Amino acid sequence: MNKCAVVQHILKAYSKEPKREQGTFFAPSNIALCKYWGKRDTELNLPHTSSLSISLGNLGAKTTIALEQALKDRISINGKEVDEDSIFSKNLSHFLDLFRPLNSVFFRVATEVNIPIGAGLASSACGFAAVVGALDQLYGWELPLSLLSILGRLGSGSASRSFWHGFVEWQAGHDADGMDSAGACLESVWPALRIGVLIVDSEQKKLSSRIAMQNTVLTSPFYKIWPEKQARDLKDLKKAIEKQDFMALGETTESNALAMHALMLTTSPPILYSQASTLEAIDKIWHYRQLGLPLYFTQDAGPNLKLLFLEKDEEAIIKIFPKLIVVSPFNIGAFQC
């Protein structure tokens, strides 16, 4: 099955013509505590395993979409037009092809992103989620979030988790068409939880997660034990969240990220996203933890780290990492997952 067939299936009973002048949607960025790494279907971005994330509150992407008179899409980020020949524009236009009323109709897409550039903060996740949400508004479909999540996944797997605040689980599902592979939020609220973004290098990553995860699935001899580790970590994380057991949350999150990077090291050719500065920061985290500070990290497909800690330790941790960008995932007014 291809993306186009999935979109047609979901939208068959819905309007093919825009109902409004424009549509706008905000999607928060999300950080996986239990990672998504490896696809069972590379066309539909269907994962081998379920994953779990925490959303980054008010940090994310706000996108406005309208029809465009010109004979091409016009895309801007933070007020700056993006070159139509850039990989970014081409990817987005290719994704928008799935939603044009006619092949000859184009879109104006304006995105405001308030996440620190180069921080490795999954901008593709909130980016694709915001585009899908804005299309939903433009066409007046009013789809349930679970279906928007499926549409967002077709752009980028992790986008399926960017439609909610708080903790979000993306169920891997079993169906070939991926209709059972969508995000869903957990009711749990943990106001004291903090995420710190530690930028050790702001350069663009050299190898996309898309290619890296596929190479891992195809060549790491340890990938076959990954699903078992994932299932255990997911269960432990959900228990830790329910009990608000911070140590269990931190330990499992850190171990999950390290296992994902270990898989990458055993890929052929090997993949290494860490740099010397990443390892120095990890060493520092482990040093302070040994001294009794409850501080943990996770790492995605880049050299930067995301720290996990509690509100009560925020001051002490900022003294250790003065440039840390601190996010309060639940400090978003009235919480509704």
Give the one residue of 6, 11, 27, 32 binding ligand PMV; rule: CB under 6 A.
Answer: 32
Please state, in angstroms and rounded to a whole number, the distance separating the CA atoms of residues 198 and 182. Answer: 29
CB of 300 vs ligand PMV, minimal distance in Å: 4
**Contact call for residues 36 and 146 (beta carbons, < 8 A):** no
Please state, in angstroms and rounded to a whole number, the distance separating the CA atoms of residues 296 and 254. Answer: 6
CB of 122 vs ligand PMV, minimal distance in Å: 6
38 binds ligand PMV (CB under 6 A): no
Residue closer to ligand PMV, measured from CB, 75 or 213: 213
Give the one residue of 36, 139, 163, 297 binding ligand PMV; rule: CB under 6 A.
Answer: 36
Give the one residue of 127, 157, 250, 329 binding ligand PMV; rule: CB under 6 A.
Answer: 157
DSSP label of 330? T
Q: Is 166 exposed, middle or buried (0-12, 13-18, 19+ CB in 10 A)?
A: buried
DSSP label of 305? E
Query: Which residue, 307, 298, 220, is CA-closest to 265?
Result: 220
The region of 111-119, 155-163, 193-201, 280-288 touching ligand PMV under the rule CB under 6 A is 155-163
Please state, in angstroms and rounded to a whole number, the distance separating the CA atoms of residues 223 and 221. Answer: 6
Binding mask 158-177 for ligand PMV (x = CB under 6 A): x-------------------
The region of 29-37, 63-71, 309-317, 326-334 touching ligand PMV under the rule CB under 6 A is 29-37
Residues 102-121 that bind ligand PMV (CB under 6 A): none
Please state, in angstroms and rounded to a whole number, the distance separating the CA atoms of residues 178 and 198. Answer: 34
**Size of the chain in residues:** 337
The region of 20-28, 30-38, 290-298, 319-327 touching ligand PMV under the rule CB under 6 A is 30-38
CB of 234 vs ligand PMV, minimal distance in Å: 12
Residue closer to ligand PMV, measured from CB, 240 or 301: 301
Number of residues that bind ligand PMV (CB under 6 A): 14
51 binds ligand PMV (CB under 6 A): yes
The residue assigned the tokens 């999954």 is: 122
Which amino acid, one-letter code, is at 88?
F
Query: Which residue, 63, 57, 97, is CA-closest to 82?
Result: 63
Give the one residue of 63, 64, 89, 124 binding ligand PMV; rule: CB under 6 A.
Answer: 124
Proportion of the chain in helix, strand, coil states, percent, rounded to 5? 40, 25, 40
CB of 302 vs ligand PMV, minimal distance in Å: 8
Beta-strand pair 167-170/74-77: unpaired
Binding mask 178-217 for ligand PMV (x = CB under 6 A): -------------------------------xx-------
Across-strand partners of 52? 34, 169
**Contact residues for ligand PMV, defined by CB under 6 A:** 32, 35-36, 51, 122, 124-125, 156-158, 209-210, 300-301
